[in-house]
Amino acid sequence: MPSEGEVVLAARGVSRRYPLAVPGQALKTTLLHPGQAFAAWRHRQRRELWAVRDVSFEVRRGEFFSIVGANGSGKSTLLRLLAGLSKPTKGTVELRGRVSTLLELGSGFHPQVSGRENVIMNGLLMGLTKREMEALLPGIVEFAGLREFIDQPMRTYSSGMYVRLGFAIAAFMDPEILLVDEVLAVGDAKFQEKCYDHIAKLQARGVTIVMVSHDLGAVERFSDRAALMERGRMVAIGAPRKVVGLHLERLAETSPEIRQAIDEGMAADEERVRRLLEEDPEWAAAFASALEQNPAFHEKLRQQQAGQGAGSDARAD
Amino acid sequence: MAMARPAQGRSLRNAVELVTALTSRDLRLRYQGSVLGWAWSLARPLALGAVLAFALGRVLGTGITAEFLLAGLFPWFWFQGAVQGAAGSFIGNGGLLKKVRFPRAVLPLSTVLGATLQFALSLPVLIGFVIAAGNGPTAAWLGLPLIFALQLGLVTGIGLFVASVTVYFRDLEHITEVLLTLLFYATPIIYSADLVPEGYRWLTYANPLAPIMEGWRGILLDGAMPAADHLAASAGLTALALAAGWGAFRRLEDGFADAI
């Protein structure tokens, strides 16, 4: 079906340039070191970064499109350009339909006011009216599982509760296009599962989803198509399994640990693996995906993650 | 293939509700948990008025009265609070600007509106003082809405401008603070414009706030509107401030999310 639907999202030659911080921008520096500031100003055009370069692709109605890539490859910048949060330096982004954006859940929450008020405010920010939000509120609260806490100020919430409320709001916005930025990596495993279930339901209803993620397992499981970003360019686009495979290959070239994990399906040194899992989300995602071939170990890893998730979310219970 | 830009279908109703919700949240948070709450917004003009009435009126013997000072200080604190608050309204909401698409202007506008509401709520107290000092309502009081509208336009324009430019030039927030202090003394607030020497009188035409301050005092205490040419100059500069504020905001808003 997705290959037949109309195009609802189109990026054409999208590029985004960022100027890098130039010394001499502060008034103090300008006044104290005018020569240096002037030199910096003259050379300012050379100090810049093309975070996204000449990216073109189309997404059709009802399609689940994932974007993978190493940290700093430009995938989050691309998503922000798609969301209209920043403007492309070159090229155009065209969207058709109501867009809901999930970038860092709960970033718009104010800690001093209640969850209820934050939900309403979030809805207003996204363009709904107060009445519409009040109608959606019970469902949101139910989905987030925060019925007893919704009238408490949000500073009393655990980080897990923050994330759950944030996702619940975005999920109930009734979007036609949902843009998701690796937000589902946070929160406990049980809620993550619930989120993916909900996304699958949205997809079944014909909602178009564009997701940036490090969770390569989920990318393979849910996507219709995937794309790989590398240093700002979209270097591959196609079947998720192929794109994820290519991504892992590229990662393997840079890290012997990943090479080993992929080759063996598991790593020998549990201590080192655990440290890497904590320190490097990129590696963790690649590792988890590589372990898909080894169900027993994978199950163990999942249990471990679930245990950790429940621990960090203790205040919610 | 023609496609519309993201059709968010944002209604005017939504914009109004958003500004209202932000304003009421800010006001509630400001006085949350304090016993006196709103009464604190009276404390600054009243305290400054009392000290100045003593220092200028009694110690220096200028004969300046408390009601003269208060009629200038209440509107002044509205002006100062609105401009100062607006200056930080974008950089203080960086997280929101980076993650959510919404009409950015609601941030400084709700700050300005909050300061305006505070002033409106303190107005009965000011009028109480004015009447207690023996200045009953006159026909000139009908001119108050005009002065109010002029000042509202002025703080909105300046607020939008300062808020937008501060995102790129952080020093402006501090420059604003210094300029506000200078403006306080450069504007006939604790003195009357008549006392300004002839050679400097033009300054009160170049300063759009001067006729507004003279207006509040003239109407409340003397039952007289400020001179028409003086008001016209102020209205012209206010329109200019609004245009500059809106222009700066529209030109700069696209880059906010990246610059913060």
Q: What is the arithmetic mean of pLDDT over A184-197?
A: 74
Q: How many residues does chain B have?
A: 260
ipTM of the complex: 0.80
Proportion of chain A above pLDDT 70, given as a percent: 69
Q: Say yes or no to pLDDT of A283 above 90.
A: no
Confidence (pLDDT) at A101: 81
pLDDT range class, residue A311, cuts 50, 70, 90: very low
Task: Work out how many CB contacts closer than 8 A connect A with B.
Answer: 94
Instruction: List chain A residues with CB under 8 Å of B259.
Output: none
Phi then psi for A130, rounded to 5 degrees? -60, -40
Name the amino acid, one letter, at B66.
A
Does residue B126 sit within a domain? yes
CA distance B92 to chain A (A): 12
Cβ–Cβ gap B95/A107 under 8 Å:
yes
Q: DSSP readout, A65-114? A: EEEEE-TTSSHHHHHHHHTTSS--SEEEEEE-S-EEEEESTTTT--TTSB
B39 in a domain, yes or no?
no
Could you tell me the pLDDT band of residue A248, with boundaries at 50, 70 and 90? confident
pLDDT digits (tens, 9 = 90+) for A201-241: 888 888 999 999 887 878 888 899 999 998 889 998 999 88
Please choose, from the candidates A124, A147, A146, the residue with its C-alpha nearest in 3D space to the C-alpha of residue A134: A124
B147: in domain: yes
Tokens representing B249 are 């905001």
Q: Which residue has the higher pLDDT, A69 or A292?
A: A69
Is pLDDT above 80 for A310?
no
Cβ-based neighbours of B149, under 8 Å, separated by 6 or more? none
Mean per-residue pLDDT for A6-34?
Answer: 75
Residue B240 token pair: 């200019």
CA A132, CA A146: separation in Å to the nearest integer?
20
Phi-psi region at A232: left, alpha or beta (left = phi > 0; alpha = psi -120 to 50): left
Q: What are phi and psi of A57, to 5 degrees?
A: -165, 165
pLDDT over threshold 70, residue A293? no
Q: What are phi and psi of A198, to 5 degrees?
A: -65, -40
Which of A99-113, A256-270, B200-214 is the most confident on average? B200-214
A95/B17 Cβ within 8 A: no
Structural element, H or E, at residue A180: strand A177-181
> Does an H or E element contain B211, and which?
helix B209-217
B197 at A interface, C-beta within 8 A? no
Tell me the average pLDDT of chain B.
88
Which of B14, B26, B102, B165 to probe by mutation at the A interface, max A CB count within 10 Å?
B14
pLDDT at A219: 86
Domains and CATH numbers, chain A: 106-174 (1.10.8)
A152-164 as b/e: b if 16+ CB within 10 A: ebbeebeebbbbb
Model pLDDT, residue B6: 36
Amino acid A187: pLDDT: 61
Q: Please, which pLDDT band fits residue A67 given cuts at 50, 70 and 90?
A: very high
pLDDT of residue B163: 96
- Among A38-47, A208-217, A242-251, B186-195, where is mean pLDDT lowest? A38-47
Q: What is the mean pLDDT of chain A?
A: 77
For B29-69, write each residue's pLDDT tens digit: 888 777 777 788 888 889 999 999 899 888 888 888 889 99
B83 in a structural domain: yes
Chain A residues closer than 8 Å to B8 by CB: 98-99, 126-127
Check CB contact under 8 Å for B9 and A98.
yes
Domains in chain B, number: 1
Q: Where are the beta strands (DSSP E) in chain B?
A: none
**Is the predicted pLDDT of residue A303 greater than 70, yes or no?**
no
Cβ atoms of residues A225 and A63 within 8 Å = yes
* Euclidean distance between the first and the last CA atom of chain A, given in angstroms as a whole number: 42
Query: What local confidence, expressed as pLDDT, does residue A181 receive?
Result: 82
Does residue B178 belong to the interface with chain A, where contact is any CB pair within 8 Å? no
What's the gap in Å between the CA of B27 and the closest CA on chain A?
A: 12
Least confident interval from A18-22, A142-146, B39-43, B227-231: A18-22
- CA dist A266 → A256, A280, B16 (Å): 13, 17, 57
Range of the domain at B201: 68-259
The predicted pLDDT at position A258 comes to: 62
Contact B218, B225 (CB under 8 A): yes
Residue A102 reports pLDDT greater than 50: yes
pLDDT score of A24 more than 50:
no
Which helix (H) or strand (E) covers residue A17, if one does?
strand A7-19
- Specify if B196 maps to a domain: yes
Q: Report the SS3 class of residue A62.
A: coil
Alpha-carbon gap, residue B73 to B218, rounded angstroms: 14
Q: Is B142 exposed, middle or buried (0-12, 13-18, 19+ CB in 10 A)?
A: exposed
> Which portions of chain B are predicted below pLDDT 70?
1-9
Nearest chain B Cα distance for residue A38, angstroms? 17
Predicted local distance difference test score (pLDDT) of residue B139:
87
Q: Residue B31, class by beta-carbon neighbours within 10 Å (0-12 exposed, 13-18 middle, 19+ buried)? A: middle
CA A197, A9, B98, B179 dihedral sign is: negative
